[in-house]
Amino acid sequence: MTECWVIDDGSSTVPVSSEAVLETLRVRIDSGRLETWLTSSSGRSLAFVTNTERAMVVLLEEEGDPGEHAVDPGTDGSSEGFVLSNGQHDEYPDEDTVPIGEAFRIVEHIVSTGSWPANARWVVDR
Residue 1 is predicted with a pLDDT of 54
Partnered with residue 60 across adjacent β-strands are 45
DSSP 3-state assignment of 60?
strand
Measuring CA to CA, which residue among 27, 64, 74, 77 is closest to residue 48?
27
For 58, the domain range is: 5-124
Q: Give the predicted TM-score (pTM) of the model.
A: 0.94
Measuring CA to CA, which residue among 53, 87, 94 is closest to residue 71?
94
Q: In a structure prediction context, what are the per-residue pLDDT tens digits for the chain, which is 126 residues long?
A: 578 999 988 776 778 999 999 999 999 999 999 999 999 999 999 999 999 999 999 999 999 999 999 999 999 999 999 999 999 999 999 999 999 999 999 999 999 999 999 999 999 998
Domain count, the chain: 1
Residue 13 is predicted with a pLDDT of 79
What whole-number distance in Å separates Cα of residue 57 and Cα of residue 77?
18
